[in-house]
Structure 1
Amino acid sequence: MQVTRYGDARSYEAPEHYGMHCLRLQGKEATATDTIWIGLSHLLPGGHTSLKDATVEKIYIVVAGEVTVETGSECVTLGFLDSCRLAPGEARALANRTNAPASILLAMPT
């Protein structure tokens, strides 16, 4: 078993993420996972990402506040424990359009 305590989770820099603090909870340098890694991002009010695609699917789960997810054709605001899946190649932008902090889990293949 490999445990990552929240207080010990390491931060990482994600390109084109603004007003966000990202933590690696599982996978990559945090633990020896075979297929996925999981991150937790805290978005300050006004925090956001650029509209960008990835070659792999992504799953987001909001664990605090509200996060707006935009694709090239859709825009949805997710609340507590709402989730979404983005297909490989599907561009996405995240934004916290509220005055309160928000947090979102990310799961994606390694």
Structure 2
Amino acid sequence: LLERLLKCWQFDTKINEFNSFDLSLLLIAFARSALRDEERLSTIGGALRQKLSNMESSTAAGSLYALALLDFGSDGTGATLSSTVLPRLLGEASQQELVNIAFALV
């Protein structure tokens, strides 16, 4: 079903129109359906890496969690999230954001 939806959405041509939250949700959908399509995951990861500057902490945590579930790290998205985005966001995070991060990792 997920693959059919991606074809209907013209995923490959419209990926840069998605915001970081939508991209994170796509990664989570791949993880929950155990769909390890490395080409599409790399495409999503590339688009996500372009939107790091305005990413919310829970979005970054959810994306990292999805990548871990899929055991996918070859494109560098997980490393980038864990080395740049999450440390920056954790240092600035409010108590509510820390709670959101915890829920994103469950």
Larger helix percent = 2
Larger strand percent = 1
Do both proteins adopt the same fold according to a TM-score greater than 0.5, normalized to the shorter chain?
no
